[in-house]
Structure 1
């Protein structure tokens, strides 16, 4: 018996029952990802002292997340994902700064007191559940952190070298090396836990179950999931009883798909599709919208369930979209894809503010200099969330209706999911009189449609045809049959849900003033042309 195992019973005196949510329940959520240290400051703190490049703490806490949940919920999000809550490295500043991000694991059975006390974390979770929102917690299982290749293991949960792989640097692209060798380097090492060891498996399973029962979290995001054997995850997530989504970094569809299923994880972050979104929408770039169709087709053949994959454009490990793409419309069209296709949309904090930091650490900017303004990107997210949440509430089968590519060319891609048609363009903001796309939808001729972004009316042409011209610039178009918007609160329709201060279930944003403001600020005019023609597009989200 391992010496640490008797401690688990003492560490977790369980006083509450699990709130855990399943993959089916998470399918209908949209997620706002937060680095706890960088989201919000306590009252009275100096907002000018956070130097992103310094790689140190800036002062965010679990309490400051709780105090600013309105900003997240008013954007329509129904879940948050927060950085790891467990104890991190405690010692002198390293060559790569301090563990402000939460990923340098020390003792996983203890909380990180830099972010608050146990009652603060519990208060955050309770408040989220009061709002009918979910919480996903980032979990580091593959490794701990040290500053030597020969660390003292006595302070970790697994407190002996026998529970770790021997040191060797990872050779990326080699699966055996990725699973058995250490990430990091010789200055900041990440000792690799031997997750094939039966005692380790048993201890991790007991910890996961106890953690969920104690804190009532709804899901786990698993860091570095591909560095662990896929068959370990059911032994970890099964006892936990919550949805688990893993990080499988890279464009390889086969590799990512091998980590989803009953012998692996519930889901993974959709890195292959992220790569395709870059190819399609980034400016400058190849503007290859066909990449989306190609990856979607391959994923449909190989994944068990596309509808629970995590769709994203940014995270703590990637450059901000705006750092790589100079045109705001490229972000708006790519973002519309993440909400209107199969899968769970995830927005990394600051994406809604157009942050432009390059890779770590500059993609981990403090949010507070933005003053939490509700500008163009934020308001677009409100609209996307409002429509998606309305569909979840009134037409839940929309979530599992496979998205179909109706048309794709060098200028745009047209997709249909359920009764929603999205026309997404690669051209960016400048007008392009030669850019046009036609698509045959499933709707009957003369069907009245509404673009939920501009609230302009469309009419389906002969044979179900729509045509879009980009003579005034390229913005996303999301068409819904006009009668089906009844009760949505969008485009002049009433909001037909039960209220209790906030919309019941947290599934519809009440920030209609933000949506109206977006429409009122637009310039340009739209019109529909008779047979088979849609609107000339001339509205910029600026």
Structure 2
């Protein structure tokens, strides 16, 4: 791993990245978002403001307990004060929890609306998070750093504590025909998913009638104004599958920015149906999340083949996998450390997330090893960690640094297909652009095992660098590689040493190699030659002249 000193080179590379790919404070497209990586924040839980700050509606609580389900005091201004921490990991965008006014009355049986998803008046800002000037200041601070702002949007529903006779006077939608009649959701029926209410009869989420033209007009006018006023670069759409698909193109067109929808759960064909001109530019890749959990958590089923099948199915069905949101944690699912006892399992899954997925999204606290179970325990405060420079923080920075370097210097990296070079019950090897990556679910303990990789696209005797541990290796006959797990189940990322020039990784600070894309022809060839399951035993590998990485 790298020391914190290497952050200077990371920030220098980030500035180069932004000079080559200028940012826009408005109308950011899917193509521009493709090159981003996102740090997801629940505003109330990321950082505490100075208690003497003006306009605070919540007393900052340093002893925040997520089980209390109440406000702890984070604000938009306190995010600004901690942007160095986020940019130190190499992130080029943040996604913040919803900014609209939420319910703020007597405590409900499920706590208070600290999370931002209990929308009341969508057209007003949430004063708990700050003032309009504070949100503008956050947007400006991000853009000054060349970073993007993504805002979470709740358009499907509003909250009521009286589902039989709700008071509509506090809402932007004030007549009954602007809502679908109450019904519990039958998740086996798509019409029910779109028209019936989330929540329950205690805290009900009234389903907004997005077929109503007055509702459509209000929403489109509001979102256009919000994006323009606060110079928002992208939207994350909450509960997107609970709204008819053909509502979203008009809404996102009015916004004028990239939209990524939450289609919770579901398989690849269902999720893929929400990406395209008739729906959204992007969705969160929930199927791959499930496959990554199944493949890498310890203990777990170790289902590597399911992950590969999911990748191939996605390549067939999604219109553009490079703009899907790839995540390992979020506010609705257990933390990775709650599911898996071994940190190597996270680090291996992260290699897939950053190098084989679409737009990587890291939920705040993943880098600190937070381990809460489902809601509300996965919404912990971050400040008790001291924002430490953990191993996962450093690995995140390395993966971002590598990805940003490749985006700037190998422009076809993000749009090139991921090729599976081989699998075993414990490993998967992939190639994308100029790199080869090997991930395993073996875990941290040393094991007497090796794995060989063929059709890498490297030449025989090619000097290579393994990037996570900065080890120098040489490819074997026909470019083959051998990974040795005698020091534990680490992930490996290989590139030609010459191609790392100028990256700042592993001491490579000299000029960028102009032949960065030199593996393109080899990459195309290996896609044809690839042999799934092309792993051989150790004796055969020695005879083939392969190289060990320990």
TM-score w.r.t. the length of structure 1 is 0.88
Aligned to 1:191, the other structure's residue is in SS state strand
1:129 aligns with 2:143: yes
Give me the whole-angstrom Cα distance separating, in 1, the residues matched to 2:503 and 2:449: 35
Give me the whole-angstrom Cα distance separating, in 1, the residues matched to 2:301 and 2:344: 15
Alignment of 1:446-461 (within 5 A): 446-461=461-476
Return the match for 1:482 from 468, 477, 497. 497
CA shift in 2, pair 1:18/1:467, >3 Å:
closer
Give me the whole-angstrom Cα distance separating, in 1, the residues matched to 2:365 and 2:412: 31
CA shift in 2, pair 1:130/1:530, >3 Å:
farther
CA shift in 2, pair 1:182/1:357, >3 Å:
same
Give me the whole-angstrom Cα distance separating, in 1, the residues matched to 2:141 and 2:291: 37
Give me the whole-angstrom Cα distance separating, in 1, the residues matched to 2:479 and 2:353: 25
Contact 2:25 2:148 in 1 (8 A): no
Return the match for 1:345 from 344, 360, 364. 360
Match of 1:385 in 2: 400
1:73 aligns with 2:80: no
Contact 2:462 2:475 in 1 (8 A): yes
Deviation at 1:462, TM superposition (A): 1.2
Any unmatched runs of 5+ in structure 1? 1-16, 498-527, 538-542
Contact 1:136 1:221 in 2 (8 A): yes
Match of 1:168 in 2: 183
Give me the whole-angstrom Cα distance separating, in 2, the residues matched to 1:186 and 1:110: 26
Contact 1:471 1:536 in 2 (8 A): no
Contact 1:56 1:100 in 2 (8 A): yes
Match of 1:227 in 2: 242
Q: Moved runs in structure 1, 4+ residues, more than 2 A?
A: 43-49, 434-440, 528-537
Contact 2:464 2:494 in 1 (8 A): yes
Give me the whole-angstrom Cα distance separating, in 2, the residues matched to 1:321 and 1:410: 21
Aligned to 1:415, the other structure's residue is in SS state strand
CA shift in 2, pair 1:160/1:466, >3 Å:
same
Post-superposition Cα deviations, 1:125-151, rounded to whole Å, max 9, x if no partner, equal 000000000010000000011112121
Return the match for 1:23 from 15, 30, 40. 30
Match of 2:76 in 1: 62
Match of 2:202 in 1: 187
Alignment of 1:193-208 (within 5 A): 193-208=208-223
Aligned to 2:548, the other structure's residue is in SS state coil
Post-superposition Cα deviations, 1:458-482, rounded to whole Å, max 9, x if no partner, equal 2121122112121221111111111
Match of 2:43 in 1: 36
Match of 1:507 in 2: none
Contact 2:247 2:279 in 1 (8 A): yes
Aligned to 2:354, the other structure's residue is in SS state helix
Any unmatched runs of 5+ in structure 2? 1-23, 52-58, 513-540
CA RMSD of aligned residues (A): 1.6
Aligned to 2:310, the other structure's residue is in SS state helix
Return the match for 2:326 from 297, 311, 318. 311
CA shift in 2, pair 1:469/1:18, >3 Å:
closer
Alignment of 1:429-448 (within 5 A): 429-448=444-463
Give me the whole-angstrom Cα distance separating, in 1, the residues matched to 2:375 and 2:28: 31
Match of 1:533 in 2: 546
Give me the whole-angstrom Cα distance separating, in 2, the residues matched to 1:130 and 1:275: 36
CA shift in 2, pair 1:120/1:313, >3 Å:
same
TM-score w.r.t. the length of structure 2 is 0.87
Bigger shift: 202-211 or 233-242? 202-211
Deviation at 1:394, TM superposition (A): 1.3
Deviation at 1:292, TM superposition (A): 1.4
Deviation at 1:209, TM superposition (A): 1.1
Give me the whole-angstrom Cα distance separating, in 1, the residues matched to 2:488 and 2:126: 48
Contact 2:249 2:278 in 1 (8 A): yes
Deviation at 1:49, TM superposition (A): 2.2
Give me the whole-angstrom Cα distance separating, in 2, the residues matched to 1:91 and 1:356: 30
Alignment of 1:298-337 (within 5 A): 298-337=313-352
1:404 aligns with 2:404: no
Aligned to 1:396, the other structure's residue is in SS state coil
Post-superposition Cα deviations, 1:163-193, rounded to whole Å, max 9, x if no partner, equal 0000001122321111010000111000000
Post-superposition Cα deviations, 1:311-347, rounded to whole Å, max 9, x if no partner, equal 0000000000110100100000001110011400000
Deviation at 1:279, TM superposition (A): 1.1
Deviation at 1:18, TM superposition (A): 6.0
Alignment of 1:287-302 (within 5 A): 287-302=302-317
Give me the whole-angstrom Cα distance separating, in 1, the residues matched to 2:199 and 2:348: 35
